[in-house]
Chains A and B, each alone.
Chain A
Amino acid sequence: MIRLVKVELKRLYARRLTIIGIAGVVLITGLMLFATWRSARPLSESELQQAQTQFEQVHSEWVRSADEWKKQCERDYASAPDPKPSIAEYCSYPEPRLEDFGRPRFTFADTMPDLLYGASYLLAGAAFLIGASFVGAEYSSGSLGNWLTFEPRRLRVYGSKLLGALLGHVPVAVVTLALLIGGTALIVELVGNTSTTSGKVWGDLLAIAGRSVVLAAVVAALGSVFAMLLRHTAAAIGLLMGYLVLVEGVFGGFLIKAQPWLVRLNVDAWIKHGTTYWVDNCQTMPDGIYNCTSLEKTVSFGHSVWYLGIAAAVIVALGALVFSRRDLT
Chain B
Amino acid sequence: MDDLAVSTRGLRKTYRTRRGKRVVAVRGLDLDVPAGGVHGFLGPNGSGKTTSIRMLLGLIRADAGTMTMFGRPVPERLPEVVSRVGAIVESPKFFPAFSGRKNLELLAEAIGAPRSRVGEVLAETSLGERGKDKYRAYSLGMKQRLAIAATLLKEPDLLIFDEPTNGLDPAGIREIRETMRSLGAQGRTVLVSSHILAEVEQVADTVSIIGHGRLLASGTVAEVIGGAGKGTVKVAIDNHEAAIPVLTEAGWTVRLDGGYLYVDGAAHPADVTRRLAERGMYVAELAPVRADLESVFLELTAGEGLGTDEIKPGPRGGDR
Contacts and interface: CB of A to CB of B under 8 A. Distances in A.
A70 B271 CA distance: 133
A329 B317 CA distance: 7
A249 interface: no
Contact of A152 (B79, B95, B97): B79
**Which of A6, A15, A148 has most chain B Cβ within 10 Å?**
A148
B109 A328 contact: no
Interface residues of A, number: 27
Interface string B148-159: 001000100000
Nearest to A145: B59
B93 A10 contact: no
A141 B102 CA distance: 15
Nearest to B135: A141
Contacts of B82: 149-152
A138 B96 CA distance: 10
Nearest to B97: A16
Contact of B89 (A3, A4, A6, A145): A145
B193 to A, nearest CB: 15
B65 interface: no
Contacts of B95: 11, 137-138, 141, 143
Contacts of A142: 91, 93
Interface residues of B, number: 36
B221 to A, nearest CB: 28
Contact of A151 (B59, B97, B110): B110
Contact of B61 (A6, A148, A149, A325): A325
Nearest to B107: A150
A327 B150 contact: no
A14 interface: yes
A202 interface: no
B94 interface: yes
Given A145-B89, A152-B75, A329-B315, A3 B59 contact: no
B61 A146 contact: no
B111 interface: yes
B57 interface: yes
Contacts of B60: 327-329
A153 interface: yes
B109 A6 contact: yes
A94 B109 CA distance: 71
A150 B315 contact: no
Interface in A127-147: 137-138, 141-143, 145-147
Nearest to B86: A149
Contacts of B109: 3, 6-7, 10
Contact of B57 (A6, A137, A149, A325): A149
Contacts of A6: 109
B97 A15 contact: yes
B237 interface: no
Nearest to B105: A10
Contacts of B93: 141-143, 145-146
13 contacts: A7-B106, A16-B97, A138-B95, A141-B95, A145-B59, A148-B59, A150-B107, A150-B110, A151-B111, A152-B78, A327-B61, A329-B54, A329-B60
Given A145-B59, A146-B92, 19 more contacts: A3-B109, A3-B110, A6-B109, A7-B109, A7-B110, A10-B106, A10-B109, A14-B102, A141-B93, A143-B95, A146-B89, A146-B150, A148-B57, A149-B57, A149-B82, A150-B110, A150-B154, A151-B82, A328-B60
Interface of A: 3-4, 6-7, 10-11, 14-16, 137-138, 141-143, 145-153, 325, 327-329
